[in-house]
Amino acid sequence: MKSSVSIIYNPAARKASNANIDRAVSFLGREGFEVEVLRTERKDHARQLAEEALKKRPSLIIAAGGDGTINEVINGLAWSGTPAAILPMGTTNVLAKELNVREDLYGALRTAVAGSPKKVSLGRIEIEGGLRYFCLMAGVGLDGKAVHDVNPSIKKVSGGAAYILSGIRNIAMFSPERIELLVDGKEFSGYTAVIGKAAKYGGNYKVTPDANLRDPFLFACIFRGGRRLDLLRYSIGVLRGTHLRYKDVDYLKASSVEILGRAHMQVDGDYLGLSPARVSVAVGALSLIF
């Protein structure tokens, strides 16, 4: 009996053309797999498709799309034990960069079929009305607002430049409110923060360079300044990899982070909503091939 694979793909992703999905199906067929292709049609549909696919007991589920699609799939697979693999087809493919998964179609597919599943720990963020897992980061304040304001049309054409444009526009116009955080119970405050479960951010940049999916910890990077010049300085620091040297940046290893008050939030590059929220670690929650 052949092993089965479910591919969950987002047709809106930059590289998720019908031709590329057909090539993936052909490749997996040659490798001896029976393949089911599931196409997302709306926000959060990938999570629902992953939950439905689990009922058929596939040997592997492949998330084909950008980091947002991958995030939805892992939310459907967390704690299931069924291995997941990624087929990076999105704008910046941050998780692929984090895991050193090749971003070409056949390179990623070879990893999916030949790699060994590894247990990874996810970030777990609880908000009013539910919870969400993430594998890269949660961004709060300016970071969340910039994702909230990304123009979908510009994103489709220019990719990662849409996030940069939104960030620049928000630095020029945004009047952030102070954020209060409890990091393992200790009080901190700032105007924007990134809580990392992985090192990479926005491509090959590193806001939380010590974060690792294999480790059961978070790293919180809290930017204390709220002036426009501060926000610009932080952005340049992240681009240069020097932000952790700044005296007004707190960088902390943590097991849990509570975000108090009202602030915009994003997870894995997709807008989540407004705080308050509690972030913790779901240790060993996902089996991931890379």
- Measured distance CA(152)–CA(159) in Å, rounded: 9
* Same domain, residue pair 81 and 131: no
Q: Is residue 209 part of a domain?
A: yes
Q: For residue range 216-231, what is the model confidence (pLDDT) as tens digits? A: 999 999 999 999 899 8
- Measured distance CA(265)–CA(169) in Å, rounded: 17
Domain finish residue from 80, 115, 150: 115
Domain finish residue from 92, 115, 138: 115
* Same domain, residue pair 51 and 108: yes
Q: How many helices (H) and strands (E) does the chain have?
A: 9, 18
* Same domain, residue pair 110 and 135: no
Quote the pLDDT of residue 174.
62
Q: For residue range 157-175, what is the model confidence (pLDDT) as tens digits? A: 445 545 555 556 666 566 6
* Same domain, residue pair 103 and 130: no
What average pLDDT does this structure show over 93-117?
97
Q: What is the C-alpha radius of gyration for the chain, rounded to an integer number of angstroms? A: 19
Rounded to two decimals, the pTM is: 0.92
Q: For residue range 2-58, what is the model confidence (pLDDT) as tens digits? A: 699 999 999 999 899 999 999 999 999 999 999 999 999 999 999 999 999 999 999
CATH of the domain at 26: 3.40.50.10330
* Same domain, residue pair 151 and 205: yes
* Same domain, residue pair 33 and 94: yes
* Same domain, residue pair 147 and 101: no
Q: Is residue 48 part of a domain?
A: yes
CATH of the domain at 276: 2.60.200.40
Number of structural domains in the chain: 2
* Structural domain span for residue 70: 3-115
Q: For residue range 235-269, what is the model confidence (pLDDT) as tens digits? A: 999 999 999 999 999 999 999 999 998 999 999 99
Tell which residue, 196, 215, 191, has the closest CA to residue 207. Answer: 196
Domain finish residue from 115, 150, 181: 115
